[in-house]
Amino acid sequence: MAGTGNAASVQAVRAQAFVIPTDAPEADGTMHWTSTTLIVVEVDGGGQTGLGYTYTDASAVPLIRGMLAEAVGGQDALDVPALWREMQRRVRNIGRQGLAATAISAVDAALWDLKAKLLGLPLALLLGRARESVPVYGSGGFTTYSDTQLRDQLAGWVERDGCRWVKMKISTHPGQDPHRVAVARKAVGDRGLFVDSNGALNTKQALATAGWLARDFGVMWYEEPVSSDDLEGLQLLRQHAPATLEIAAGEYGYEIDYFRRMLNAGAVDVQQADASRCGGITGFLRAAVLCDAHHVDISGHCAPTLHLHAACAAPRFRHLEWFHDHVRIEQMLFDGAPVAREGMIRPDLSRPGLGIAFRRQDAERYAA
């Protein structure tokens, strides 16, 4: 792909990692953690700087500074789909999934931010809005939390942010789950209650869990009851779980074929996708079109600031995950990060691009 040499060519790509401690120990059904790694990418071109980011390992930084910077350097900053394809081509021999996909996601987001800034438009208007605002659901409820922490967090999303739904983690200690879900149900009243096993259970365990979740507590969303790689197991859960309980998965989709296989298998009622993992804004919108063709709603996974403008443009968009860790980090480190009001977030159309600015001085103490 030859460079155009015009004033809007990509002139520089920078990346840096930041490790932010959590505000309390956190765990789900299969992992525990005490920090989150943020990778921030800046792309210069035409006198503007595009900003993107992802949540992944710090080892993504040399990949971005090297192979991906070479892929997009000198190319027309307005041709984002072409640059996306070139990045995909460059990583063929190291594998497109995992680390490479998250790295491409951050660069792609920065390129879209740069293009919108060069054109003087908010990204939502450049992409074409299907909606003016996006519903969010509060997400956290980690299995390390005490009953008081769980109750306060979930009630806060309802009372402070107006969320219509909230989600909690289960399945670290399955025997404790009925009590924890009862605490959550009491905290949120008649608001929608979601749960996430993070793939911790086998099919029979998950089917039994689905029964009491729906029957005893009116849970309406069961995320990754079994591994998201177990399409047959997800399909079985979808067929045999109570009809009021939707099965969701997809956050570990790194490329379009993953979503195609999951949708073709009839494995989910709602398809999740994560723009910080699946190839950025470009990859997320590709997944959304595929969902539209399958008549299945798409839900954005985490990184709400990154998703917001694309979520306004995506067809059949259900809602966006207002994930505790990422909301906290984004409001700490990005000017312009959205604030939930009445369960909705909306882009600031007075600001071009993604509408955010990185608070580098505030972030320096977390630099890896």
One domain, residues 156 and 172: yes
Same domain, 20 and 138: no
The answer on 35 and 156 residing in a single domain is no
Domain membership flag for residue 301: yes
Output phi, psi for 231, to 5 deg.
-65, -35
Asked if residue 2 belongs to a domain, the reply is no
CA–CA distances in Å: residue 243 to residues 70, 190, 205, 221, 317: 50, 18, 18, 11, 21
| pLDDT tens profile 282-337 | 999 999 999 999 999 999 999 999 999 999 999 999 999 999 999 999 999 999 99
Q: What is the pLDDT of residue 7?
A: 67
Domain at 279, CATH number: 3.20.20.120
> Do 184 and 221 lie in a common domain?
yes
Do 28 and 173 fall into the same domain?
no
Residue 205 located in a structural domain? yes
Same-domain check for residues 129 and 214:
yes
- 3-state DSSP call for residue 79? coil
- Tell me how many helices (H) and strands (E) the chain has: 14, 14
Q: Are residues 138 and 265 in the same domain?
A: yes
pLDDT at 5: 42
Q: How far apart are CA 26 and CA 59, in angstroms?
A: 23
Band of pLDDT at residue 237, cut at 50, 70 and 90: very high
Residue 254 has pLDDT above 50, yes or no: yes
pLDDT at res. 58: 98
- Flag whether 87 is in a domain: yes
Whether the pLDDT of residue 130 is over 50: the answer is yes
First to last CA, the chain: 34
Q: Does 319 lie in the same domain as 200?
A: yes
Task: Tell me if 238 is assigned to some domain.
Answer: yes
What radius of gyration do the chain's Cα atoms show? Answer: 20
Q: Structurally, how many domains does the chain consist of?
A: 2
Q: Please check whether residue 52 is in contact with residue 108, taking contact to mean a CB–CB distance below 8 angstroms.
A: yes
239/292 same-domain check: yes
Same domain, 203 and 249: yes
Distance CA 291, CA 250 (A): 12
Question: Which domain does 273 fall in, by range?
Answer: 125-354
Q: State the CATH number of the domain containing residue 29.
A: 3.30.390.10
